[in-house]
Amino acid sequence: RMAGESYSAGGIAVTMEATRRASDFDLTRLAMARVSEAVSQGTTYLETKTGYGLDVEHEARSARIASTVADEVTYLGAHLVPAGTNAEAYTDLVCGPMLDAVRPYVRWADVFCEEGAFTAEQSRRVLEACRDAGLGIRVHGNQLGEGPGVQLAVEFGAASVDHVNFLSERDVAALADSWSGWNPETGTGSRGTVATCLPACDLSTRQPLAPGRRLLDAGAQVALASNCNPGTSYTSSMAFNVATAVLQMRLSVHEAVRAATYGGALALHRETGNDADGERAVGSVAVGHRADLQMLNAPSATHLAYRPGMPLTYAVWRAGVRAR
């Protein structure tokens, strides 16, 4: 792509080989470096995924290492069918032995429901198996075209559907309607599926930007994320994603910052905390919530979009502890 070529999803296989070759020490070191980089730019709560092992041994290893450095880990064994592997047999593996191996380390499961990855029926099998195993679910959907991913995510009550570049009116309506039983003032009621937009990924892959403005106008809940990965979005800067959402997706600064903070917490079911595991709410500043704060060297958050690319983070606190 640096030479002008378009995105075709081939980078997953390249990264898979590099991940399998790397030692535990190297994977841990690299993961810690990416987390440190993100925190230094203001990220205070971080979810990461597997998806570059794509066999039982390496997916379990990735999940185990990720669980030592990230706040949340998502199982993405259903990222791509490895070359030379029968798709149905691999789906069986993802739903069976691989799921069993990663289960102790993960809270979420994801599937890449897209042409060239997993069909709607294969995705359904993965989501059912992971849901039955007690995992929360999310979907990679509608990144490369108007596929079945969004509708499948809403049907399953997925916490989020990520990418959402190509949406029909039916898709937008489904995402908005999924929140019809939820009270945004109190944060109570029936939850829906968050539409997670990935502006840096869209720029890197030269894809049409996700229609964040259209989704918000329809009443959907939107999150912004970096999608930091070596193939399609090698940046951990949430400030860059906020700026892109404002300047290119036509969100207001308030909407973009909300999507990058509260929207992300909503997609992780962490906006109200979880008494069962002792986790305090994140994503907003309120009494009883975790003290995750970023101080900017700027008059206001407007400068995140007004001065894109500038190092505006002055100080960061995670859970009340100064991290920068």
What single string gives the DSSP state of each residue in 55-75? Answer: SHHHHHHHHHHHTTT-SEEEE
At residue 26, the pLDDT reads 98
**Collapsing DSSP states into helix, strand and coil, what is residue 111?**
strand
Per-residue pLDDT of the chain (324 residues; tens, 9 = 90+): 556 666 655 688 899 999 999 999 999 999 999 999 999 999 999 999 999 999 999 999 999 999 999 999 999 999 999 999 999 999 999 999 999 999 999 999 999 999 999 999 999 999 999 999 999 999 999 999 999 999 999 999 999 999 999 999 999 999 999 999 998 777 788 899 999 999 999 999 999 999 999 999 999 999 999 999 999 999 999 999 999 999 999 999 999 999 999 999 999 999 987 766 678 999 999 999 999 999 999 999 999 999 999 999 999 999 999 999
Residue with tokens 């969100």: 251
Q: What is the pLDDT of residue 80?
A: 95
Residue 213 φ/ψ region, left for φ over 0, alpha for ψ in the -120 to 50 degree band, beta for the rest: alpha
How far is Cα 139 from Cα 195, in angstroms, rounded to an integer?
10
| DSSP string computed for 237-280 | -HHHHHHHHHHTS---HHHHHHHHTHHHHHHTT-SS-BTTTTBP
Predicted pLDDT of residue 3: 65
Contact 323/316 with Cβ under 8 angstroms? yes
Domains of the chain are 11-288 (3.20.20.140)
Please state the length of the chain: 324
Q: What is the token pair recorded at 216?
A: 């918000």
Q: What is the pLDDT of residue 2?
A: 59
pTM of the predicted structure, to 2 decimals: 0.94
How confident is the model at residue 307, as a pLDDT? 98
What pLDDT is recorded for position 8?
57
**What are 73's strand-pairing partners?**
48
Instruction: Supply angle C-alpha 293, 296, 299, rounded to 5.
Output: 130
Residue 11's pLDDT is 81
- Widest CA span in the chain: 56
